[in-house]
Amino acid sequence: MTRAKLPETGEAWETLSARMREMGARDVKWRDGRAAVYVFNAGEDVERVQKEAYAMYAAENGLGPAAFPSLRQMEADVVAFGLSLLNASEGAAGNMTSGGTDSILMAVKAARDHARARGASGKLNIVLPRSAHPAFDKAAMVMELEVRRTPLKDYLADPVAIDAATDEKTIMIVGSAPCFPYGLIDPIAALSDLALRRDLWLHVDACVGGYIAPFVRMNGADLPVFDFAAPGVSSMSADLHKYGYCSKGASTVFFRSEELRARMIFEVRDWPAGKMVTPTLAGTRPGGAISAAWAVMNFLGVAGYRAKHGEVTAAREAVEAGVRARGFEVIGAPKLGIVSFAHAGHDANALLRKMYERGWVTSAISEPKGLHLMLSPVHRGVVDRYLDDLDWAMANAGDARGAAAPRYAG
Ligand SMILES: Cc1ncc(COP(=O)(O)O)c(C=O)c1O
């Protein structure tokens, strides 16, 4: 491939913006609801707020809160909104980060430093259910921790298996609310009991659920305890750029106390340009990600989130009914926006490939082999179309049987 050359002279923005639009022509038609992964589409009203609010602070830098008290205030507000939604009591604290991976990495770092401050040394480990996100493996890789994955029970974290896998070198146990593969909320109350009994740091990964589950509960769903209401939860991750419908590059990481949050902070004093203190992994933090999050949350408010998430629930229920009618088994009892389903008589990868031919970009699971949707409000209006295309895929997938699943990432 020839390497692109920086043009000698610049081009007019009108030309460039036209070229950029053209470049996007072959991208998945997510605005039409064809993507059920990567993009959370809450509609044009939210998209407009995201863009305009991002642009207002696109040049500002969250690295300098003294220079930008605006961003400091917006981050403080966003963190406060999240803490309240997740039932954190007075004294809990948190920060905005660039995404779920960043939030998880910082929580693991805080847990590790907390354990070290209490005398832990040598090869430390984290214990997590098989369904927890690979971001924990990434954190463990960076910090040279051992990862102990435990088997699931009915697709959920098994507290007994987690208990058995821990030892005096364990710095963290994990539950998801929900996990990505199945969209199911782990038994956080039982994990919390375990954490209290064994004096362990429990992290709840609510990257997907943190900004949908509270509102789905307000809408009347019977959800198990999954947040700081469980007394053994030490930290949580909750992504604004997922079901918070904020611009990308925005997540939150929360701690039960300021003392625990302090373990996350990075500080170097001995450096020619003075001291450097950052709360999270990033140095420069895009002001736009902070301002867009603040704007979207205030734009939607509780009523707006309840309405948008009500549409997600309606879409999920319609998908569940539709796929069951076609002979699929829905994995577990999902209550939020992710649903996975498998069919004994159909190869999931072959179906996925056929659906891709019809413009659908969605995910798959491998245990068992099945299809996976992460639904947004926009999907409520396209469920019938999805199911029609699924009928077509089931009728025509024979030629794709045995094919590898399409790869969108990496
Ligand atoms: C449960 C869960 N945790 C963490 C992450 C990582 O988030 P990010 O992609 O924002 O780094 C994801 C991403 O899908 C997720 O589903």
What digits encode the pLDDT tens for the residues 58-99?
A: 999 999 999 999 999 999 999 999 999 999 999 999 999 999
pLDDT at 408 over 70: no
Give the percent of the chain with pLDDT over 70: 97
pTM of structure: 0.96
Categorise residue 248: left if φ over 0, alpha if ψ from -120 to 50, beta otherwise: beta
pLDDT at 313 over 90: yes
Q: What residue type is assigned to position 175 of the chain?
A: G
Evaluated on CA atoms 182, 185, 186, 187, the torsion sign reads: negative
| 101, 203, 251: residue to mutate for ligand 1 pocket, most atoms within 8 A of CB | 101
Distance 271 CA to ligand 1 centre (A): 34
Protein residue with least CA distance to atom 4, ligand 1: 100
14 φ, ψ (degrees, to nearest 5): -60, -45
Neighbouring CB atoms inside 10 A of 276's CB total 13
Per-residue pLDDT averaged across 9-26, rounded?
97
pLDDT at 343 over 70: yes
The span from the CA of 301 to the CA of 309, in Å, is: 12
pLDDT at res. 150: 98
pLDDT at res. 334: 98
What contacts 149, CB < 8 A, 6 or more positions away?
128, 129, 130, 132
The span from the CA of 169 to the CA of 200, in Å, is: 10
Give the helix/strand (H/E) hosting 71.
Answer: helix 69-85
pLDDT at 137 over 50: yes
How far CA 120 is from CA of 124, 168, 271, 310, in Å, comes to: 8, 8, 29, 46
Distance 273 CA to ligand 1 centre (A): 35
Distance 247 CA to ligand 1 centre (A): 15
Q: Which single residue is written with the structure tokens 């997740």?
A: 86
136 φ, ψ (degrees, to nearest 5): -70, -35
The closest of 244, 254, 234, 189 to 211, measured between CA atoms, is 244
pLDDT at res. 221: 98
Determine if ligand 1 sits within 6 Å of the CB of residue 100: yes
The span from the CA of 111 to the CA of 167, in Å, is: 15
pLDDT at res. 398: 84
pLDDT at res. 400: 59
Kindly give the number of the ligand 1 atom that is closest to the alpha carbon of 178: 1
Evaluate whether 236 touches 192 at the Cβ level (below 8 Å). Answer: no
Per-residue pLDDT averaged across 282-295, rounded?
97
Q: What residue type is assigned to position 224 of the chain?
A: P
What contacts 2, CB < 8 A, 6 or more positions away?
none
The closest of 176, 157, 5 to 107, measured between CA atoms, is 176
The closest of 50, 63, 297, 275 to 71, measured between CA atoms, is 63
Distance 177 CA to ligand 1 centre (A): 11
What contacts 21, CB < 8 A, 6 or more positions away?
none
Q: Which two tokens stand for residue 48?
A: 């407009």
pLDDT at res. 410: 43
pLDDT at res. 299: 98
Q: Which two tokens stand for residue 9?
A: 């002279």
Evaluate whether 55 touches 65 at the Cβ level (below 8 Å). Answer: no
Question: What tens digit of pLDDT does each residue of 366-403 get?
Answer: 999 999 999 999 999 999 999 999 999 999 998 656 66
pLDDT at res. 405: 67
Evaluate whether 131 touches 181 at the Cβ level (below 8 Å). Answer: yes
